[in-house]
Structures are given as structure tokens and as C-alpha cells.
Chain A
Amino acid sequence: MQKEPVIITVASGKGGTGKTLIATSLTLSLPEGVQYLDCDVEAPNAHLFLNPAWKEEIPAGIVVPRVDEQVCTACGECNRVCEFKAIVVIADKVLVFDELCHGCGACSYICPVDAITEIQKPIGIIRKGKARNGTTLIQGLLNIGEPMATPVIRNLKKEAAAGIPITIRDAPPGTSCPVIETISDSDYTILVTEPTPFGLNDLKLAVGVARQLNVPVGVVINRADAGDDSLYTYCRDENLDILMEIPLKRKIAEGYASGKGLIDILPEYRDKFIDMFEKIMGGIRP
């Protein structure tokens, strides 16, 4: 179908617009062997639609500092250079706050007496499995209570195999660091939205992110008949391709609720997804 490997991210700005529904349905419409990265590590859901048999579980972590109190002189240099207030010197004692640490290594670099070593601290896991349609599903899962999703996504991207013809990335909602980590170095981003004021507002933000990252975008409009025209006007004014429109149907909502993909609920969508993929490829690899 196409020669060079391609990475397509499905993102949205607003949550609950149907990212995972679109990403999994696209995956199931394509020839076997797609690599699917569930980068929504705070709330991953793709496995509910792709039914994987998990084969492997790998810890995802960041490095955090540990201080050798025998060597430490409590000079405070580490405290001074840490931008995240994760290492603090109080009354000759060095305290490390793991959950604030970004694992950047500035403290161990600056320490004049080499009192700081680094240990791996797990903050999540990466799971790999074989799923429907021969899909390789790789899922990141942030541990409960851990604040930083981005390092788990970085780990997840490293676990992905290079050279697979088609990789689909399922992004988290929003526009901040985890979304940027997911979209960056993709070849294309599908933005899923709905024609409501919330959908439009958050689409604008997501388009802003993708444009700053220089990733081409197209729009899928879910619940296309549920709102008003302003989304369509915006897409026209901004020259955004509308890749697909899906109506608001109780049947789709009910099927989705029980873990059915769009092509399971409405088989005629398979061809629409293949057309969409061809259109995307035609745009980025003419």
C-alpha cells in the first residue's frame, strides 16, 4: 500500500471526542500488522477495542538521585541548580523529593564531591501484546499517584519498533507536554472533534500545537450533526481537510460502550477508513 514507514497520530484537544474509536477503527481497517502505540498513559483505552493477549511487561522509569551521606558536605550546590526543587539541603541534610524530580541529572553533574548516584525509579509500565488484525499493541500505563506522564510516553516510543510500515499513535487529550511528546516526530496528525463550542475551542488549540510542531493535520468530525456550523466555517477558513464525518447515532454510542469499533458496528466504514488513509498518504507522500 505504501513503501516508507509512516507514523500517524490521532489527537483531539477535547477529551471524549472519539480519538480511540477512530484510531482503533483505522487500525482494524488497514492490512494486518499495524503497530499501535497507546500514548494516553493516564487513561489508556485502546486495549478495550483491540483485545490484545499481553506478552511482555517492561517497567518504565526515570532516574532519580541518591546521596551518599558519608561523602556529602551539604554544600548546597545541588539545591541551587535544581529547577524543580526536587533536592533540598536543610541543616546539613539533603532531602530528595522523587515525585518532583525530572531525572535531568543536573545535581549529580554539579556535585563537587561526587556524592550523588542515580537509581531507576519506576513510574509506570509498558505492555506489549498481539491484538486483533495482527496488530502489535504497545501501551503505556502511568502508576497511580505519579504525576509525570511524559517520561512514560518517551519510554513507550523507545519500545516501538522502527521500520514497521504503519504506526498509529493514540494521543492523550489536551495540549500540554504529553500531547507534544506524542505528536512530535509524527508524519501526520488526525484531530478528532465535534461541532460544539467545546469541540471547536479545543480543536483550535490542538491545531495550534500541531502547526508549531510542523506536523500536517486533518480533521475527523464526530457526532457531525449534533451541533452548529461554526466548526465547518473554521475548517474552511483555516484550509483544514475534513477527512471523515460520523453522525450522532445511539447505535454507535451503544456499540462503543461495549468495546465495539466503528467497523464492527457499521461495516461500511471500513472502506471510508481506507479512503481516509489513502488520502492522508497522498498528502504527505505525493
Chain B
Amino acid sequence: MTDNKSQTPKQLTIISGKGGTGKTTFTAAFAQLTKDKVMADCDVDAADLHLVLTPKIQKTEAFFGGRSPVVDLAHCTKCGVCTELCRYDAIHDGVVDAFACDNCGLCAHACPEKIITMEDVQSGDWFVSDTRFGPMVHAKLGIAEENSGKLVTMVRKEAMALAKEKALPWVIVDGPPGIGCPVTAALAGVSKVLIVTEPSLSGIHDMERVLALTEHFQIPAQVCINKYDIHLENTKQIETYCQQKGIEVVGKVPFHRGVIDAMVQGKTVIEREVPEVTPEIKRLWERVMGSGLHS
């Protein structure tokens, strides 16, 4: 292997559009198969990778996602200026509805009594951990907190810094579902994306949207079809669609209950071998990571 110290680590993000297609199961398998990497769990509002990788936390840092209005209620004259201006219907008689509030600060600037201030709020934590497969950066967003995109960016940045410091050539990112803010944050500027889909109409629909997103950001994408044998016609449809778009289908993994059993035991499908599934995931990994990098 060449000297990686001076090189920027490559980033692989695993996403799906639709939730529950097997992103985290595949990411955990990749964590075991890829020797030199840092793992990053960027599904920060429903993080699950830690349930398989069981990280031992080495460092915990508070995450401040933004500022929120704090009202000195004792001096509020209930003049109603803030209520009238707020576009989120989030402040009444000086009381802020934290769920409705967008933290824009307009109330603080408009208050004639100057009794509303914007203050930093901790909206989660992020961690640097050791796992049986190497270092991992992950996070926990507080319940009903905002700014998950910002936290995703933070997790990725820290994972990159750690990979650089340890001269590891890869960062593997477990991405969130959907196509919105946290997904954009998990994708921006990565080397390549693996899309895990399934042959259901929902899976196909959401894969098309996520492929449109990777195209929009001009990030090379590959597709893998999980539970491909649930609906062979739909699988064929996915393959045809990808072929037309010039997207490589890098793997087709069959449906098997053993995958769920592995998850229940907190093991990867490499550790708890599922003969029908494991070899195909290994082949998939080889194709995704390319030859020559990991001999």
C-alpha cells in the first residue's frame, strides 16, 4: 500500500432514500471488511450503527446546533410585537413554543423592551469511540432537536480529521434516509455513494429520487439491490433503469431471515455467517471498494 499520510481520505456514503432497506446492515458489514478506515454514523436522529458496532466511547463533546430565544418574562409587557411578527406562531405573551420556533431571532431583534436574548443551546452530543473494527465517530441528537444537518457535517468533519491523523485511507458514512438536509450534508463532497434499494415500488420510487440527488451534486453512485428475490420483476426494472442511467448495479443480495437474527445478536453478517447472503455481500464490498486498495 502506498503512503497515505499526505493524502485526503476517501469517503463512501451509504444511503437509500427509503428507510429500512438495509443501509446499516451493509454499513456494519463494510466496517468489518474494510481494514483501514474510520466509521461515521450520520443517521444522527435515529442512529443504529452503534447497536452492532458497540462502540466504547473515548471522547464526548457537546453539540451546539444554534441559538434559541430566551425571554425575561418578569419584564415582558405583553405588547404583542413579537407575536405579530413571528412567522411560526411560536411566541405568545412572551412564552416560546420551542417545537414551533425556528430559532430565527426576529423576536429578539424586534422586542421594544429588549428582554429577549438569543442563547446557545446544546442540541446533542458527538462521540469518538473505539469499536472491534476500529475507530468510529457518531452522535446523538437530543429528542425533538433541530439542526441534524449541522450535526451530520460535524460528524463527517471529525471522522475525516481522525482518518487523516491516523493515515487511514477511508471514511465510511452510514447515511440517513430521505433526500433532505441531513442527506445533503452526508453527501456533499464525498468520493462515492452506494445506494441500497429493495425491489418494492416504494424502494424504486425513492431510489430514483436519491439518484436524482447524487446526479444533482455530481457524485458517482452505485446501486445494490437488497432482498432482490422478493420481486424479480421489480428487480429487473431497477436493473434496466440503472443501465439506462449508466449506473452500475454492484450487487444483488437475497432475502434471508438470518440477516435479522444477526442484527438481534448484535453481530455483522460477516461475523454471523448467513451462507445465502454473506458471500454476496463480500463480493459487493469488493466491487464497491475497488481493486488494489485493500489487498
Contacts and interface: CB of A to CB of B under 8 A. Distances in A.
Interface of A: 12-17, 20, 40, 42-43, 45, 48, 81, 83-84, 102-106, 109-110, 142, 144-149, 172-180, 184, 196-198, 201-202, 205, 208-209, 212-213, 223, 226-228, 248, 250, 253-254, 256-259
Contact of A43 (B45, B206, B227, B260): B206
A228 B264 contact: yes
Contact of A106 (B46, B100, B105, B255): B105
B102 interface: yes
Given A106-B104, A172-B178, A201 B144 contact: no
17 contacts: A42-B179, A42-B183, A43-B18, A43-B202, A102-B102, A102-B104, A106-B104, A109-B106, A144-B209, A147-B149, A149-B178, A175-B143, A176-B45, A176-B144, A208-B144, A212-B99, A227-B260
B102 A43 contact: no
Interface stretch (B19-27, B240-248, B269-277): B19-27
Given A104-B106, A105-B106, A205-B143, A15 B184 contact: no
A196 B22 CA distance: 13
Given A43-B177, A103-B87, A201-B51, A14 B255 contact: no
A119 B267 CA distance: 52
Given A102-B104, A201-B51, A226 B260 contact: yes
A48 B110 contact: no
B99 A174 contact: no
Nearest to B207: A43
Given A15-B16, A196-B260, 17 more contacts: A15-B20, A40-B178, A43-B205, A43-B206, A104-B88, A145-B184, A173-B46, A175-B46, A177-B148, A196-B263, A197-B51, A202-B46, A227-B260, A248-B260, A253-B230, A257-B198, A257-B203
Contacts of B260: 196, 223, 226-227, 248
Nearest to A15: B19
Contact of A16 (B18, B209, B257): B18
B110 to A, nearest CB: 6
A12, A109, A184, A198 — which one has the most chain B CB atoms within 10 A of its CB?
A198
Contacts of A142: 179-180
B202 A145 contact: no
B66 interface: yes
A138 B212 CA distance: 23
Contacts of A105: 85, 87, 104, 106
A253 B216 contact: no
Nearest to B203: A257
Nearest to A253: B230
A45 B18 CA distance: 9
Interface of B: 16-21, 24, 45-46, 48, 51, 66-67, 85, 87-88, 99-100, 102-106, 109-110, 118, 141, 143-146, 148-149, 176-184, 198-203, 205-206, 209, 212-213, 216-217, 227, 230-231, 234, 255, 257, 260, 263-264, 266
Contacts, number: 190
B45 A174 contact: yes
A240 B102 CA distance: 31
Contact of A144 (B66, B205, B213, B234): B213
B143, B177, B184, B264 — which one has the most chain A CB atoms within 10 A of its CB?
B143
A142 B178 CA distance: 10
A142, A173, A178, A223 — which one has the most chain B CB atoms within 10 A of its CB?
A173
Main secondary structure of the interface of A (DSSP, over half): loop
Contacts of B88: 104
A148 B148 CA distance: 11
Given A83-B105, A147-B184, A208-B144, A174 B177 contact: yes
B231 A16 contact: no
A176 B141 contact: yes
Given A43-B178, A105-B85, A212-B143, A253 B106 contact: no
Contacts of B99: 180, 184, 212-213
Nearest to A212: B144
Given A45-B205, A253-B230, A174 B181 contact: no
Nearest to B151: A176
Contacts of B17: 42-43
A197 to B, nearest CB: 4
B264 A197 contact: yes
B143 to A, nearest CB: 4
A118 to B, nearest CB: 11
Given A145-B216, A227-B260, A257-B199, A81 B105 contact: yes
